[in-house]
Amino acid sequence: MKILQLCKKFPYPLKDGESIAVTYLSNALHNLGCEMSLLSMNTTKHYMDIKELPADFNHYKEIHVTDLDNTVKIFDAFKNLFSKDSYHVSRFVCPDFKDKLIELLKANKYDVVQLETLYLAPYIDVIKQHSDALVTMRAHNVEFEIWERISSNTKFLPKRWYLKYLTSKLKRYELDHLNKYDYLIAVSDRDLRKFKKLGYKNGAISSPIGLDMKNYIQLNRSEESNDICFIGALDWMPNVEGLLWFLDKVWPKLSEKQPDLKFHIAGRNTPPTILALKIKNVIVHGEVADAISFVNSHSMMIVPLFSGSGMRVKILEGMALGKVVITTTLGKEGINADHEKHLLVADTPQAFIEQISMIISGEREKHLIGSAAQKFVEDYYDHGHNAQKLLEKYVSLKDNPIYKKDLATKL
């Protein structure tokens, strides 16, 4: 099966959830015999020199990139106030990408064109004009839901109004395009139910983000510290929001109760304000060379999220390494793990303090939770198993005459 995968940013290095989700699935589909091709925007925000790709990044038959300046520009953002277009989406409208897409569609007969996230939706009409391939949307999140939650958590009223305004246009765009896909791939059962409630009527599957477990080798227990860590892309607003909340609401009292405890922070594109923090026993590493090694060297990982949607890949990674992950109810959303068995859930400052303190005191056995977490990820989030199910669905759709023509109106 020939699959063309479209991405709004290059899916390497594997330092954020989206890159991990894209790379592990495409690699698994390749291992199952699919011919994978990639067309990706190479953005200023996440620029990748593809000449520096490692030798083992070889699962694509072809890799094509087009450069895109997607920086937020004040004048463009202001002009967008008077437009019906979603500023979130319009930043990824790229003439060079469109031209390259048309060139590839004319030169190849793909079975599936898989869009990675809503931000590729502007190209649906182009694909259908130049190809009879199945057009699938892999929705990593319910996009507007992230921004609804960010807006509701924003205290500064002018910024809150502006975010709500942008969110309303993003929601309209997402809903207007919901039934333009031939097939929808949601990353969790919860998201799939949400999309259907919003009006999605075509074919769909829930296909969780998977990990390649051979990459997650746990250190000997004696080599890990008893400290806590945080890692996440710090150019993503929900991560910054949650980290600052933890530093402000949790850390002062936790540090007072546990004076020897250290808190290690790492993240891609760490802003200068966080790099400059001078807080006792808080160590800001910035971007680390090896995220897995960073997590591996600590026994606990915190994920204090109050915005966002979809699945948090960093939680799965922490669990795959046998760490005690402490997150919020929203952070756990989309991951069917059990509180106190596979991970710990805390939604208030006091709850975070209690859960961390119980691990430090031994009242909760961290090794039992870590082992259960690791087994849970092995059982339910293996990238090969999830890719096999998705491929079986693709094959059945390709062979089903109902899906040959005008899918959206016949389902």
Q: Where are the domains of the chain?
A: 2-210+382-410, 214-380
Q: pLDDT at position 409, please?
A: 40
How far, in Å, CA of 48 to CA of 320, rounded? 27
Residue 404's pLDDT is what?
47
CA separation for the pair 393, 411 (Å, rounded): 15
- Predicted confidence at residue 402, as pLDDT, reads 53
Q: Check residue 240 and give its pLDDT.
A: 94
Q: Does domain 2-210+382-410 have CATH number 3.90.1150.10?
A: no
Question: Using an 8 Å Cβ cutoff, are 274 and 286 in contact?
Answer: no
The runs of H, that is alpha helices, within 59-130 are 74-80, 87-90, 95-107, 124-130
Same fold, 2-210+382-410 and 214-380: yes
Q: Global pTM?
A: 0.88
Question: Residue 79: its pLDDT value, please?
Answer: 80
* CATH, domain 214-380, list 3.40.1170.60, 3.40.50.2000, 3.30.2350.10, 3.40.640.10: 3.40.50.2000
d(CA 324, CA 371): 9
CA gap 380, 357 in Å, rounded: 29
pLDDT mean values, one per 10 residues, the chain (411 residues): 97 91 96 97 93 95 95 80 88 96 97 97 97 96 90 90 94 96 94 96 94 87 83 91 97 97 95 94 95 93 88 94 96 94 98 97 94 96 94 88 46 33
Amino acid 308: pLDDT: 72
pLDDT of residue 236: 87
- Report pLDDT for 408: 40
For residue 385, what pLDDT is reported?
92
